[in-house]
Amino acid sequence: MLTRYDTAPIDKVTQDAQTGFVHITDVPIARVGVFPYLKADSSIEMEAKLPDELLSDSTVSSADSKPVTNDHPKELVNQQNASKYMKGFTADNAHVDNDTLKVDMTITDADLISEINKGKQELSIGFETEIVPEKGEYKGIAYDSVQRNIQINHVAVVEHGRAGHSVRLIGDSAKMVQQDEVHKKGQSMETTKVRLNDADVTVATGDADKIIKLDADNSEKQKQIDDLKAKIKDLQDQLDKLQGDDEETKKNADKAQAKADAAEKELADLKKKYSGDAMDKAVTARLELINKVKPYVGDSYDFAGKSEKQLKLDAIKALDDSVDLTNKSDDYIEAYFDSMCKTNDSAHINGYNGPQPNIGKDSNDLDELRNKRYNFSNQF
């Protein structure tokens, strides 16, 4: 077991009018957290008081009815030396308040009461604990070891806490040392090391606890900043998506406008192409094509909206549905249609009653004639 000394301010002081004893109520003597301790070799180690340890029933009850001393004695207070060191006592009402251990106390020694009235108003807790090497993190602060089986021995009234008079915490001070360092009364280190962001940083001894508290505050602020950044990024992503949707809409509108512009140009080209004599020639050519196609497709055929190519294809199919013109070029279809028309000028075609060939009754003669009239494979 090692001995530790933590510091807290005296508050809520009253003096009994009859006895002159000083009563201090609801004193915060220790709190949960991670704190630096100066070891015998002058190195700093971050030790954790975790809730399961400091706020356990055993530790809380160890603060009941314990001696109050004037400064820390050079040894733990016990039955044999109590008359020498004991200047008062704690009450039997040690209790937990959030993450803090508190207790009332009474000071009976006249000399110590006089010093308190003159301004000696800080407390330092002397306790025994087992230091277990165990790295971890508590509320964003890394630690090297854990204090286990914490047992409070006494509460000392001191001139200034080891963290400096300006550093007044609810509970432990930032600067806590081993017993052999306490024995060097009147001595104090000008600088010490604290653990910040997983690194040992040298700071003024009186500012050590303040810096750790500020670091914890900064860690919390940084967390809030990170949360806000995450929210901003989410909102930015939503904005980018909405803008992306707008861009897509604009792109579709541009495509539609481009199609409309192309249609307008096509219409203008058609108007130009079919104006004046050009229109007359186009109408004449269309009528001539209809006259060529009509004998093949018949009077019931609907010519409206059909292109020249489609008219020719329909005429060829009407004559011989077995003809495969898939993937044939326009030139091929044009040549096929012209050859078909020349070959069949005097033939009997659907809807056309031209001169009839003299065909015998023999079916072989009929087949031979059909082959001569409709077989165009040797012409291309």
- pLDDT, tens digit, for every residue of 165-202? 322 222 333 335 433 343 343 333 445 555 565 565 66
* Cβ partners under 8 Å of residue 90, min gap 6: 63, 64, 65, 66, 68, 103, 104, 105, 155
Instruction: Provide the pLDDT for residue 206.
Output: 54
Beta strands in the chain (DSSP E): 2-9, 13-15, 22-31, 33-38, 44-49, 67-70, 86-90, 95-97, 100-107, 122-138, 141-158, 176-178, 191-196, 199-204
Instruction: Provide the pLDDT for residue 197.
Output: 59
Q: How many CA atoms lie within 13 A of 42 on its CB side?
A: 6
Count CB-CB contacts under 10 A for residue 101: 27
Q: Is the pTM of this model over 0.75?
A: no
More confident residue, 276 or 49: 49
More confident residue, 329 or 369: 329
Q: Is residue 20 part of a domain?
A: yes
Task: Choose the most confident range, by mean pLDDT, from 36-50, 69-83, 258-272, 275-289.
Answer: 69-83
Q: Among 199, 221, 243, where does a domain finish?
A: 221
Q: Is residue 264 part of a domain?
A: no
Instruction: Give yes or no for residue 33 having a pLDDT over 50.
Output: yes
Rounded to an integer, the average pLDDT of 261-271 is 78
More confident residue, 375 or 98: 98
Q: Are residues 288 and 189 in the same domain?
A: no
Instruction: Provide the pLDDT for residue 118.
Output: 87
Q: Are residues 57 and 191 in the same domain?
A: yes
Number of domains within the chain: 2
Rounded to an integer, the average pLDDT of 356-375 is 45
Q: Is residue 298 part of a domain?
A: yes
- In angstroms, rounded to a whole number, what is the distance separating the alpha carbons of residues 35 and 343? 111
* Alpha carbon distance, N-terminus to C-terminus of the chain: 112
Instruction: Provide the pLDDT for residue 280.
Output: 74
Q: Are residues 115 and 208 in the same domain?
A: yes
Q: Is residue 102 part of a domain?
A: yes
Instruction: Provide the pLDDT for residue 358.
Output: 40
Instruction: Provide the pLDDT for residue 87.
Output: 96
Instruction: Provide the pLDDT for residue 152.
Output: 92
Q: Among 221, 256, 290, where does a domain finish?
A: 221
Average pLDDT, the chain: 76
Instruction: Provide the pLDDT for residue 188.
Output: 38
Instruction: Provide the pLDDT for residue 169.
Output: 25
Instruction: Give yes or no for residue 214 having a pLDDT over 80.
Output: no
- In angstroms, rounded to a whole number, what is the distance separating the alpha carbons of residues 296 and 294? 5
Q: Is residue 356 part of a domain?
A: yes
Q: How many CA atoms lie within 13 A of 134 on its CB side?
A: 12
Q: Are residues 79 and 217 in the same domain?
A: yes
Q: Are residues 182 and 299 in the same domain?
A: no
Instruction: Provide the pLDDT for residue 293.
Output: 92
Q: Are residues 18 and 150 in the same domain?
A: yes
Q: Are residues 138 and 71 in the same domain?
A: yes
Q: Are residues 173 and 322 in the same domain?
A: no
Q: Is residue 130 part of a domain?
A: yes
Question: What is the share, in percent, of the chain residues with pLDDT greater than 70?
Answer: 71
Q: Are residues 138 and 59 in the same domain?
A: yes
Model pLDDT for residues 45-89, shown as the tens digit of each residue: 899 999 999 999 999 999 999 999 999 898 999 999 999 999 999
The range of the structural domain enclosing residue 142 comes to 2-221
Q: Are residues 79 and 143 in the same domain?
A: yes
Instruction: Provide the pLDDT for residue 342.
Output: 84
Q: Is residue 214 part of a domain?
A: yes
Q: Among 174, 199, 221, where does a domain finish?
A: 221
Instruction: Give yes or no for residue 232 having a pLDDT over 60.
Output: yes
Q: Are residues 197 and 344 in the same domain?
A: no
Q: Are residues 211 and 304 in the same domain?
A: no
Rounded to an integer, the average pLDDT of 329-356 is 70
Rounded to an integer, the average pLDDT of 114-139 is 88
* Cβ partners under 8 Å of residue 375, min gap 6: none
Q: Is residue 177 part of a domain?
A: yes
